[in-house]
Amino acid sequence: MEITQDYQKSIRSQQPVKIGNETVYLPYQRTTNPASSDTVICPGFSGLSRIPFEENIEPLGECSRVFALDIPPLLNIRPSLATPNPSLELRVEVLGKFIESITRRGRALNLIGYSSGGIVSMEYSIRNQEKVSRLVLVASAGFGKGISWGYWSAAFLASVPGVKNLLSRESELSIQKSLKKLFHQEIPRGLSKKILKERNYYNPKDLRDWQIQSLREGIGLWGQKLIYTGVLREIAERIPVLLIHGKHDKIIPSQHTVNAWKATYEMARMLLMKDCGHWPQMEDSERFNTEIIKFFQN
């Protein structure tokens, strides 16, 4: 597989939003085709959605105006609400401010949440029930305690002297090793180099500290701490929900999504993608795009 280099139908930009007294600049990529609905992609742990969804942005843009949002490190910024989970609250607040600033009133809003961004998207959806028309959750966290050993160990070993500094020393090789856990199939050529270039826009220490803070909020001694199955059921009673998961996901077990789907009494729709890991949107982009377009247009 090759990474798409054609950006003729999309625009990369930054959107300033105000969080408390701070102005945060949010990188995003959007499609330019006119459409009757807006679709916002909320990123996972890495904070990136433009690269993980690079094979999906333009195809989905044929039926909806797509905004692929990146969320930068939000250190030293306090959320508006007091909460035991400040990094989650900040991401929900940032997502809300971004949606307010770029979407148009009266247009249907589709929300796609990836991995831990699934929790952010569910939290936003339950708080803004009148705004979200459809919700898609891709390899979402929040439906069971199980998590990969790599993420669990990063949350707990980061305080060990020397380990914290190692976590910030990213290279093309270290990213390639991480991608092997995310992919079930062959890793696209050039992907690790592209991710490294994107992450180098941020201060490595800030990026590391923000990710460690987010991990520690979401992962406890016994695994994932934030369980949103009940929230999902409540959302599915109100709007169409599509759950997508790679059957061979090594980060978050696909069985979590199966259990969550059953907990909605099958009100949600579910797509288990065979031969895919934690990035089904790239490993089988053609089917992924087809199913989501069908879901949006139904």
**Domain residue extents for the chain:** 10-147+226-297
Tokens 């459809």 locate to 134
Distances (CA, A) of 170 to 81, 150, 164: 33, 15, 12
Tokens 């035991």 locate to 84
Q: Are 245 and 237 in contact (CB under 8 A)?
A: no
Q: What is the pLDDT of residue 158?
A: 63
Q: What is the pLDDT of residue 202?
A: 82
Indicate the pairing of strand 65-69 with strand 22-31. antiparallel
Rounded to 10 deg, the angle between the 86-102 and 204-218 helix axes is: 110
Q: Both tokens of residue 233?
A: 């059921």
Instruction: State if pTM tops 0.85.
Output: yes
CB neighbourhood size of 173 (10 A) = 10
Residue type, 247: K
Q: Both tokens of residue 149?
A: 């050993």
Q: What is the pLDDT of residue 135?
A: 98
Q: What is the pLDDT of residue 7?
A: 36
Q: What is the pLDDT of residue 76?
A: 80
Q: Domain 10-147+226-297 in CATH: superfamily? A: Alpha/Beta hydrolase fold, catalytic domain (3.40.50.1820)
Q: Both tokens of residue 36?
A: 């009757």
Per-residue pLDDT of the chain (298 residues; tens, 9 = 90+): 333 343 334 567 999 999 888 899 999 999 988 888 999 999 998 899 999 999 999 999 999 999 999 998 888 888 877 787 889 999 999 999 999 999 877 789 999 999 999 999 999 999 998 999 999 999 999 999 999 888 888 777 765 655 556 555 678 888 899 899 999 999 999 999 999 888 888 887 788 888 888 888 888 888 999 999 999 999 999 999 999 999 999 999 999 999 999 999 999 999 999 999 999 999 999 999 999 999 999 8
Q: What is the pLDDT of residue 166?
A: 57
Q: What is the pLDDT of residue 84?
A: 79
